[in-house]
Amino acid sequence: MERFAWKGTVLPGKIEEYKRRHAQIWPEMTEVLNRAGVHNYTIWLAGHDLFGYYECESVDYAARVQAESPVVARWNESMQGIMRMDYDGRTGEGGMERVFYHA
């Protein structure tokens, strides 16, 4: 099982809208996550900072399924005015480096 984490920021004045949209997540979006093999997907909010985490069999496969999905593209477009993802300027990836793990 592989693990993936990302970080982002909810834009000022958009926290309640961010929460509402995730409380009403599109069924087709969860279908894509299931096809990507994503499990235990959790997002935490601390102030305006977001931290997301999920588990999957293959991060590369999960990323590819999501990148190729028109549903994910539509979701990302709908979230542009709500949040900002933090990406690595060198790789374009939003993943975080794991520095500690305890099972």
Pick the closest to residue 11 from 48, 52, 50 (CA basis): 48
What is the Cα–Cα distance from 14 to 32, expressed in whole angstroms? 25
Q: What's the pLDDT at 94? A: 63
Digits of tens for pLDDT over the chain (103 positions)?
A: 999 988 999 999 999 999 999 999 999 999 999 999 999 999 999 999 999 999 999 999 999 999 999 999 999 999 999 999 876 555 456 667 788 888 8
Please tell me the pTM assigned to this model: 0.86
Strands 83-85 and 39-46: unpaired
Q: What's the pLDDT at 93? A: 61
Active site residue 39: no
Q: Which CATH class is domain 2-85?
A: alpha beta
Question: In this structure, what token pair is assigned to residue 69?
Answer: 């999905």
DSSP symbol at 95: B
Q: Which of 22, 39, 48, 102 is catalytic?
A: 22
